[in-house]
């Protein structure tokens, strides 16, 4: 069931691959970078393999095995190997689906008219060392590999955070406005209550004054004296006569 297998930096046994067998028949991606591999002669039959990474090894030839064992290969990376001549690449003509080949840091890249020669030899190729025949760079098939997808997500996250902060600020402002409205309403109610109390007190005072006006002068004076806690002078004189 394994579709991808990475064996980078796992040293091979005397230049041979140990443990890699036809049991991995569903493999679509195989990476064996820097494992001191001398050749690909021990590759098992991998009919579904599409991408093969073999950079930084010691492969100098024997590429005809690839057409036999990996007939559906589309990407092949041989960067940093011991490939010196254009003719060494001729067996790759038998890989009809191969459209990307990398040979960085191989001696063959130092040859005159290297790129033109390879494109002529392998007409099925679209990209050599990351560029097509017109020197147009190959598009990145995996945007997340160079962090583009992560940057977009991060920026969107920041925008979302900003939106959330704005929403929070608006909610806080709304809450403050509601509190101010409540306080103003309470103050208005207090003002109304105070006015009603004042009116009631004034009404009581007016009633008392009206009641006093209805009494005869003597009775009114007597009542006032009683309210003030004083005695009537006439009563004091009667007491003295007695």
Q: pLDDT for 56-90, tens place per residue? A: 999 999 999 999 999 999 999 999 999 999 999 99
pLDDT value, residue 21: 86
**Sheet architecture: strand order including 127-128:** 4-6, 29-31, 51-53, 75-77, 100-102, 127-128
Supply the CATH number for residue 20's domain: 3.80.10.10
* 227, part of any domain: no
pLDDT value, residue 142: 45
* 62, part of any domain: yes
* 134, part of any domain: no
pLDDT value, residue 147: 40
Q: Buried b vs exposed e over 104-118: b needs ≥16 C-beta within 10 Å?
A: eebebeeeeebbeeb
* 146, part of any domain: no
Total number of domains in the chain:
1
pTM of the shown model = 0.58
CB 18 within 8 A of CB 41: no
- Residue 101's SS3 state is strand
* 208, part of any domain: no
* 201, part of any domain: no
Q: How confident is the model at residue 113 (pLDDT cuts 50, 70, 90)?
A: very high
Q: CA 131, CA 112: separation in Å to the nearest integer? A: 17
* 152, part of any domain: no
Domain containing residue 32 = 4-128
* 57, part of any domain: yes
Q: CA 45, CA 23: separation in Å to the nearest integer? A: 9
């Amino acid at each position: 069931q394994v579709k991808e297998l990475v064996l980078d930096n796992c040293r091979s046994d005397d230049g041979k691959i140990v443990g890699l067998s036809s049991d991995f028949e569903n493999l679509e991606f195989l990476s064996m970078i820097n494992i001191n591999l001398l050749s690909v002669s021990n590759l098992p039959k991998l009919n579904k393999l599409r991408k093969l990474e073999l950079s930084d090894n010691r492969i100098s030839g024997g590429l005809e095995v690839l057409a036999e064992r990996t007939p559906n290969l589309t990407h092949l990376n041989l960067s940093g190997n011991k490939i010196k001549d254009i003719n060494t690449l001729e067996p790759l003509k038998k890989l009809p689906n191969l459209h990307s080949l990398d040979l960085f840091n191989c001696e063959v890249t130092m040859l005159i008219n290297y790129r033109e020669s390879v494109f002529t030899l392998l007409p099925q190729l679209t990209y050599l060392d990351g560029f097509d025949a017109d020197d147009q760079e190959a598009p990145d098939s995996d945007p997340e590999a160079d962090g583009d997808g992560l940057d977009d997500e991060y920026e969107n996250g920041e925008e979302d955070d900003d939106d959330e902060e704005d929403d929070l600020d608006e909610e806080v402002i709304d809450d403050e406005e509601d509190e101010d409205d409540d306080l103003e309403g309470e103050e208005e109610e207090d003002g109304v209550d105070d006015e009603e109390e004042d009116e009631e007190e004034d009404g009581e005072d007016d009633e008392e004054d009206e009641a006093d006006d209805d009494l005869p002068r003597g009775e009114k004076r007597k009542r006032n004296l009683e309210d003030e806690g004083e005695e009537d002078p006439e009563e004091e004189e009667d007491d003295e006569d007695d």
